[in-house]
Structure 1
Amino acid sequence: MTGTYQTLTVDLPDGDSEAAQDLLHDVGVLGLEVRDREGPTMPGVRAPAPGEAILVAYFDDAEAAEAARAQLAESFPSARLQLAEEAQQDWSNAWKVHIKSVQVGRLWVGPPWEAANAPADRVRLVIEPKMAFGTGDHPTTSLCLGAVDDYMASHPGASVLDVGTGTGVLAIAAKKLGAGRVVGTDNDPVSVELARENAEVNATPGLELSGKSLDEVDGVFELVVANILANTLIELAPLIVPRVKDKLLLAGVLAHQKADVEAAYVKLGLVAEPGAQQGEWVRLDFHRG
């Protein structure tokens, strides 16, 4: 039908997700969205239940969608399947409705199309989301922003390292809040380019933003921040801990992952502090013993 497309939403055990994705690709989906518990879910979008994943498959017509539904029902009896017809959207702009500005501590962080609404009494950060994670409105980012604001208020001029900088939002926030040396690293070249663009837009020259690995970064830092996924935080612990002079903030961690991540850093000599939680996401705080 002109102007519409068919969606098939699949809720199923996380262990079946990859096989179900393979099946959907085999039947020729137009596109496939995967939501699982290891990755941040966009604001306003339904997240999967514990132990499950959500797949949203897009089809040209109802016949193809129904055929895929039947195959999935046969191959994955425990899956919950829902077909729907939706109006086509301008995807280049539709995603923008999910990106909202936030106010955390002294900061206002938001996308360019909301910048005119920023209060005059806040430190304003304008962040272009594009293809990198970290606009401020996801719980993992806002949890870090609050802690960065608190630390900079009591440690003006502190040096800051942002591991997995994404859009550069945490590095830029630290600089605008009075940090001294600020370094942001990311292994994704697209993120590094976007972080540099955002640093320029926010008039924060002097940030060291690059694709360097942690063992290529010089020095130690009074505040180290890493807003990345739990398994990566555990892998990077031996590289992150030596960079911490005083305080470490970790986010991108779900509540059920907290103990494993915390143990990896305590084992290497850091002292755990009470962190913070927003919904299912937690921030882990440490200091040098």
Structure 2
Amino acid sequence: MNETKTIDVLDVKGKKAGSAELPGDVFDVNTNIPLIHQVVVAQLAAARQGTHATKTRGQVSGGGKKPWRQKGTGRARQGSTRAPQWVGGGTVHGPQPRSYAQRTPKKMVAAALRGALSDMARDNRIFIVTSLVDGDKPSTKQAKAVLSGLAELSKVLVVLARSDEVDWLSVRNLSEVHVLAADQLNTYDVVNSRTIVFSQAGFDAFVGARSASAQALTAEPEVPETDVADQHPYGEDSFRGDNPPAGFDIKGSEDSKKFHDPSSPWYGRTIAEVWFRSAAAAEAAGFVNAVKSDSEKEDAK
């Protein structure tokens, strides 16, 4: 598994024009059928409009008058001609507008697509062509001939680059062909096709986008540099952060300009905004001892 496979790149005449490598991490991975099923079901569910709606008895027009009096007629009591048991009445528990979308993690979607492509590659049902048309004028006839020369012209998925305008115009009227841009390739369309034909530009765009995504996932996050002045706002005997160095036991609050030493009764309940190495360092920075300041206020009273 994860072996790179080399296939021929064909020209419009079906002759070899070069070769291309199918990356093993995309075209040779384990095919997880339950995962593919889950992703396809979610994709089809998300495509549903969900605009179905029925009217309840409260939404049906009319029925405001009681059909007949409650007693004395010998008939069953009725309160409205729009009740569910009446013809023309409302619907009970009928369908209402809703969204059928299912949340599917991006990694699961990507893994399902890789598995489906790998299954196609192992069956030699993936082809790459330089172009579907020889020249700069669209030709449905020539595009059909090129595709027919590769495999049976039935449920063919053509993947093009968005810049392949001539190829887009050439295959858009072929009922046996479904065409997608490289960034639109998805699990359902791969599973629903018998053959996949990439244009050279479409294949390069697809593989390039996958490689860029893989590098972004594996890249190590950059660690922002800490400003020394911000880490030591009141000199070397102060520290701002969640993990102070050993010896920085004094907790300071920049809002109240008070500090607490370990003997303070509020020390354990105080969240430090800045740490000091000693009480003298805190006082030099303009902070006052919270315990002493509170006791001085009580003495003043």
- Please give the TM-score of this superposition, normalised by the length of structure 1: 0.21
Bigger radius of gyration: 2
- Please give the TM-score of this superposition, normalised by the length of structure 2: 0.20
